[in-house]
């Protein structure tokens, strides 16, 4: 059975205290760049239509699409709170946000991949 890939944003820098990590770049510049990149990725990776009688390849394509989407979404969603935290006195507690998004991505893509595997077994 196929395993869902974990969407990770762990490598992204986390700024949680504005006093320890003062921003030298105007607020929002990184967010605007991340937003533009996110929209470009969405436009470049449109989902394929799934026919009424979907087969395992159709479902696997959709799971792959969601994996790519969640990867880019995770990068964008990491940037917004990080940018906000840089400019928030006292910072923000962002410890659980990354794990929640990774769990959601894994659950959704994993469910689709399991359905694809079940269809593939029935066809064999």
pLDDT of residue 9: 41
Residue spans of the chain under pLDDT 70: 1-28, 124
> Dihedral of CA 71/77/83/89: which sign?
negative
User: What is the pTM for the complete model shown?
Assistant: 0.61
pLDDT of residue 3: 47
Task: List, in order, residues 6 or more apart from 8 with CB less than 8 Å away.
Answer: 74, 98, 102
Q: Which residues of 19-58 are buried (b: 16+ CB within 10 A; e: fewer)?
A: eeeeeeeeeeebbeebeeebeebeeeeeeeeeeeeeebeb
């Amino acid at each position: 059975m196929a395993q869902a890939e974990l969407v990770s944003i762990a490598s992204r820098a986390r700024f949680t205290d504005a006093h320890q990590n003062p921003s030298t770049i105007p607020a929002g510049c990184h967010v605007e760049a991340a937003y533009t990149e996110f929209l470009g990725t969405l436009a470049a990776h449109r989902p394929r239509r799934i026919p009424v009688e979907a087969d395992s390849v159709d479902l696997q394509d959709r799971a792959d699409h969601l994996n790519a989407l969640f990867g880019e979404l995770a990068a964008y969603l990491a940037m917004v709170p990080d940018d906000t935290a840089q400019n928030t006195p006292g910072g923000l507690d962002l410890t659980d946000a990354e794990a929640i998004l990774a769990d959601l991505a894994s659950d959704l893509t994993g469910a689709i991949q399991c359905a694809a595997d079940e269809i593939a077994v029935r066809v064999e």
